[in-house]
A and B are shown apart, each in its own frame.
Chain A
Amino acid sequence: MKRLFLAVTVVALAVTAVFALWITPPRADQGFDAVRLLYLHAPTAWIAYLAFGVTALASLLWLLPRTRGTTWDLLAGASAEVGVVFTGLTLVLGSLWGRPTWGTWWEWDARLTTTAILFFLYLGYLALRRTGTTADERGKRSAIAALIAFADVPVSYLSVTWWQTLHQQGTVFNERLSVKIDGSMAFTLVAAVVSFTLLYGYLVLERFELAQLEEGREARELERAIADRVQAEHVEVAPV
């Protein structure tokens, strides 16, 4: 099942790559081939937001007493990890794309800046998860931290927007957009978003299974430790 998932993901990514690199036209006003970064930049940004949305949802489910379970905590962690990687990629790709189009590596526009804040917020979240405490304690603290971070994002976005807006508004549906989307470009963009979403799903699945294995190993070690201790102390106190 997982192999099939992986195969479909790889095929989808390959199709996207072929379209993005050879079939779609270059653009003079976007530094010719640089426009192809769109097919990487837009989907990675989408995955970043999707991943943090999933983390927030899973955290909420952990906090509700009815649905509380380690599964949600591990899923929140797995998704946030993938999200941080994709946020980092988005920043790097955006920066690379900004150089030929805006003439600078970094613009202090609302979206780029908020994404940078997002990156650090969730780096903190991941650091919090790694502080080594009981599973329940980790679940509680990280779930609350995830929700606070999630609620902080729109406020940050608003404040940064007020502060400075240079970035193009919206991606595909804005009329003032300098990139005119033709047929093959629109298809490639959709294909890119779909294939990256598949990739996200696969990565989270892998990370989640790994986390479950880790938890399972700890549980087994714990059982063994208890058994050892009970046995050792029984022998010791037997004469009493």
Chain B
Amino acid sequence: MATTTITKTEKLVGKRIRRREDPRLITGTATYVDDIKMPGMLYAAILRSPHAAAKIRSIDISKAKALKGVHAVFVGEDTKDAGAVPCAASLPGLRVPHHNVLAIDRVYLVGHPVAVVVATDRYIARDGAELIEVDYEVESAVADPEKALAPGAHAVHPQWPDNVAFNFHQEGGDVAKAFAEADVIVKQRIVSQRLIPNSMETRGVVADWRAADRTMNLYTSTQAPHLVRSLVAQILGLEENRFRVVAPEVGGGFGAKIQTYAEEILLAWISMKLQKPVKWIESRRENFTCTIHGRGHVDFYEIAAKRDGTILGIKLKLIQDLGAYFTILTPGIPTLSVLMMPGLYRTPNISADIVGAFTNCSPTDAYRGAGRPEATHGIERMVDMLAAELKMDPAEIRLKNFVRNEEFPFPTATGLVYDTGDYSAPLKKAMDMADYDKLRKEQAEARKQGRYMGIGLCAYGEICAFGPSPATPAGGWESATVKIEPSGQVTVLTGISPHGQGEETTFAQITGDELGVGIDDVLVLHGDTSMVPYGIGTFGSRSTAVGGTALYYALQDLKAKVKKFGAMLLESEDVTLAGGKCTDNKTGKSVGFKEIAAAAYRAMKLPPNTEPGLVATHFWEPSNFTFPFGAHLVVTEVNGETGDVAIKRYIAVDDCGNILNPLIVDGQVHGGVAQGIGQALWEQAVYDDNGQLVTGEFMDYTMPRAHMMPWIESAHTVTPTPVNPLGVKGVGEAGTIGASPAVVNSVVDALSTLGVKHLDMPLTPEKLWKLISAGRQA
């Protein structure tokens, strides 16, 4: 009878382990793109259009060229062979504008690149750019998607005078019947305003062409280095195996660095022209106008229900402000909103129409949540409005309509299959934490005193772990390679490209547990296409759920091989790998991990049918998305004299499946909530009627700051997903998705005594003060 020797080991997964990437970040020793310096490197500065719409009559570059230190000046005509900025999203009948890397004969947004100056340093390059004289014939512009769709509006692209990029319709069930049978129908126009993503590090590129080897090295602040490589190599006609993209330390992305931008193509092209390494670093002001924006919805919702609160159907007309041209996912983002339309509710009847509108503005694309925050904001506002109409408690109406536990896997009216869930659990937990009934009594008391206290709920769901390849524009699998070095240390190469999500830590935890080694023996590398076989990148809360699973399977392959070598050395057939050694289950004898690794490479003797070395690669294709969920509960009080919103309590109960590292999950929730509160209360990209961005710096664009944040009471329920063996769902975007409706519902609740039924974001003090003042007079 075999006896099992139990080795006492502590699991790494599930522990609050501090991020191993932090020491270099907080000591300033990380290498960002701007830290890269090369001998003979030149600097590029880009001259951008001050007009939102204009014809270019002429460009005079003579003065710039004559400036000492300027090596070259290029305009649109020169770069015609450099191709167009790529868009990977496709829809039936989609109109795709050709966006050259530099404007050719006209500009259609403020910040449109017009010319580039390359000089010995960045200051000369900028001075040079200021010496370029461009003669513009200015045209009127349109900066508002609803105005863009009105008859007679300025055409952003003359070939499409109606400014319509596409129409998209999706429906499920029988909406007409649902609305015909309804006792009550609530309608509301809801705006999800344009936002400006701001990561701490702006974008930046260094391109280094080596003609003798036909090799391109491109260093760029990106979330998807392999995607950049494939696209830029294709656009410039270069060989992909000789094109290396490195994402060094990346100081945040939030979706704004998934795209392949004009500057990445342009810099590679310049380096080839000049046979020199070239650097461009985006200024903060360029970041405001030239990097993608997020959101930008005008939604017209209708929700039909029975008197008892049962939701029968939802209709949506969605106007998406696309901006002037497309980046990688621009037209695809609102289709994600449609997929997420039903939220966590059972309703089988859905109808949605999207109109994609061109405007003379920056393109919109994925920004933390990408389509799901807009959809969640819509459904969660509508459910609250429905509850108010039916005089029901907002918690009760949600609990009544949630998909029930026994209904999973649940097919939605929009064609998704929700994997697993217990939707009432986080809501009930949040209500318990808040002592909901007592809160409502406190609210009644506050109202008697004339105070504006509100309680807001949001029960959100999201689509994560992007995704099955057929459902994504560029593949949705992920890869991992694990190497056990001859010395026994473990190197992980992952196809994801973390830039703040902490996978250097969580992936080391997974690896440590699977191979039975310490976390310090594991190094996680990423973001270099010459090192990693291939990868899709980091976005859509996919890194751990998809990349971590690829790693898990690679580790299973490797573990089997390590055990074979261990068994060979122990002359046993029944071994366990744990605690940094391989142990014979019969005799209790063991051999250390390092000895096994050395033996696998020394290869004096090999197990049967086994090759030397300890390397395994696994490409994993998910069978479905994952669908995390949660509930946020927010208590606010609005100051009647100033209109200022004070968040008294912020309770976030998130269910992201199994939790690998609670510290990192909390960090993701906190950051996400900060961005969601930012949208709810302060942030807004404002263009004037001429297409000038008037919120073009931090003085005018209110980014949330640490002192503006409430204390976040974070808790979890755990419903593992069956989609991957780790049981993880993803949590990168959860906070953002839950926060905006919870905060707005809370403020609407606070001001409902003044007859307020709906408010559009951002809920600035000015907006609320005006409303309260008017309400008091009435």
Q: A and B: real partners?
A: no
Chain B interface residues toward A at CB < 8 A: none
